[in-house]
Amino acid sequence: DGGITQSPKYLFRKEGQNVTLSCEQNLNHDAMYWYRQDPGQGLRLIYYSQIVNDFQKGDIAEGYSVSREKKESFPLTVTSAQKNPTAFYLCASSNPSGGAKDTQYFGPGTRLTVL
């Protein structure tokens, strides 16, 4: 089945540690996105990538880093510089050259808790 997978589903981290969240898609989509969602808040864009080897900062990129070495993969690293990392992290992808070019499809998310 085609889709987006994120792992792990739940992640606990000690303060001061870096952690990497995985996002893989087999939809052959060019564009991929990382969002975070906090209780009572909307989705906020962290980083996005429209093509392999290229990515752009979103609205809240500080304390995060990404890479896009393969079309299928867009891992997100939450660094110790991120002051409030506990959140629900969502990865999405879209197919800019397709008919529904702006529609984003989401993975199941990773809940990160910093202890």
Which residues contact another protein (rule: CB under 8 A)? 31, 33, 40-43, 45, 48, 50, 58, 88, 90, 94, 96, 100-109, 111
Min dist CB 16 to another protein, Å, is: 27
Min dist CB 40 to another protein, Å, is: 8
How many other CB atoms sit within 10 Å of the CB of residue 18?
12
Whole-angstrom Cα distance, residue 10 to residue 1?
23
HSE toward the beta carbon, residue 14, CA cutoff 13 A: 2
Q: Which is nearer to another protein, 103 or 113 (CB)?
A: 103
Min dist CB 56 to another protein, Å, is: 9
| CA 18, chain centre distance (Å) | 15
Q: Which is nearer to another protein, 13 or 111 (CB)?
A: 111
Contact at 8 Å (CB) between 47 and 55?
Answer: yes
Min dist CB 80 to another protein, Å, is: 26
